[in-house]
Amino acid sequence: MIRHWKSIILLILAALTYSCQYQSPDLAEKSVKDSLIYKVEQIIKDKRRAEEYKERRLTKEFLRKTEEYYPTIRKYSKRYGLDWRLIVAQILRESYFKENAVSQMGARGLMQIMPYTASEITKELDYEYIFRDPKENITAGIYHLYKQMAYFPDANYENRVMLALAAYNGGAGRVVDAQDIAGFLYGKRNEWKTVKIGLTKLTSSDWKLHLEVWELGVPPNGYFYGYQETIDYVDDIMKTYQVFRKLY
């Protein structure tokens, strides 16, 4: 049976080699990359990288906490139309599943929710223990991320997720201002790759650009100097999310 499969693979390679001899270099390269063998190799490589990431970054305690809170994460992610693996990636970035985590700015819990945000969510969802009950903290965080997505109805789903993550970290107003700049400079206000450039141009040093974008000559939501943290936040979560999609 093994010899049989080896023969088939050799025949495929021979056919690809013969085909490439009579094609331009560009077409030959495309033929190889589009081949089944190439795709299988990429899947194996991606899986191996994901497993290496798991061994390097995900401790036994993290995996235990993921399993413990999985029912809550899965339930409310599904309710609000989000991928549970994205939420796990976000918690990894926010608190590494440390229930009592507190940031220098006062954000608390697994999803690092600010007091003002918690009070608003308490009114909307009638949750009283967001800072004391880890499951309520997770639920509140998922709901808050879901709310951020509503600010970007014209973006496709993947970009809506990234823009919502940026809003979760830096505030929706900052992201909307960055959208204005991205639209002005590139004509693309709903793509993360242009909006994150817009975030870097919300400081006072870009005042000339601001005069062209806004009638009053300043970002409507004020200058923003924490843009690098927000950009790193989104890119890191999305990178981890892609790994989790291969692992789970």
Give the angle subtended at the CA of 31 by the CAs of 28 and 37, to the nearest 5°: 125
Active site residue 55: no
Torsions phi, psi for 105 (to 5 deg): -90, -5
CA distance 41 to 16: 16
Annotated active-site residue in 94, 99, 124, 215: 94
Query: The tokens of 88 are what?
Result: 């796990």
| Nearest to 154, CA basis, from 174, 182, 120 | 182
CA dist 79 and 125 (Å) reads: 14
Give the C-alpha separation, 98 to 109, whole Å: 7
Taking alpha carbons only, the member of 49, 67, 36, 37 closest to residue 245 is 49
The alpha carbon of 118 is separated from its chain's Cα centroid by a whole number of angstroms, namely 22
In angstroms, rounded to a whole number, what is the distance separating the alpha carbons of residues 176 and 152? Answer: 9
Burial of 140 (0-12, 13-18, 19+ CB in 10 A): buried
CB proximity list for 180: less than 8 A, separation 6 or greater: 189, 198, 213, 214
Whole-angstrom Cα distance, residue 213 to residue 177?
10
CA 58 – CA 53 distance, rounded (Å) = 7
Active site residues: 94
